[in-house]
Amino acid sequence: MKKFFLMIVAALCCMTAVAEENEKLVAITFDDGPNTTTTVKVLDVLEENGVVATFFLCGKDINSSTRAVMKRAVKIGCELENHSRSHSHMSGMTADKIRMEANFTSHAIRQVSGRSPQFFRAPYLDTNDLMYETIDLTFIGGFDVKDWDPAVTAADRSQGVLTRVKDGDIVLLHDFKGNDATAEALKTIIPELKKQGYTFVTVSQLFKQKGVTPTPYAKITYHNVYDK
């Protein structure tokens, strides 16, 4: 009887593992914050829908005014990651300047959140070998729907995500000041993806739950967790 019971438990564990492996996951991410206007509106939508996201922050915008916004993001389960200090093209910088851009922002995030960033998104997704060799964080990209363009409506932004998203994707959106159409688009994106069976996770959760170990210095920018 004991042996039979152990066989049943093992079978259930295997079924659970397969179910988790087959679960559809998506990581919604935001660039160019933090601020006390649009970032707040994005957080409002996330919190109302009970989902998490990842914010890639610019160090120049981390200050006494935005600390509370960052702390709120962490409190509801979001992650804060590195998007450089100045949001400049970095492929033409020296190693020392590249290191300064990344280290400044990692330090600022750590001071507020108590957690060191694990991931880096290059401004304009502009990378080169020197950046990969210098920055000790995993590079993250994602697919975007041109939500940085004010001519792209909230409806177009939501449709762009919904028609392209697939399991393991990283969605690249922006929460810079005044980009409120993206916050509005989230009101459609989140419920619709939930209906399609997606679970919203942070970038670190995406890698962990899919059993993928990201590696710094690997000279790769991940747009999907399964990228090689």
Parallel, antiparallel or unpaired: strands 119-120 and 138-140? parallel
Cα distances (Å, whole numbers) of residue 78 to 22, 29, 30: 23, 10, 11
Residue 36 phi/psi, 5-degree rounding, is -100, 10
Residues forming a β-bridge with 26:
169, 200
- Output b/e per residue, 51-75; b: 16+ Cβ within 10 A: bbbbbbbbbebbeeebeebbebbbe
Q: Do 56 and 31 touch, CB atoms closer than 8 A?
A: yes
Please list the active-site residues: 31, 174
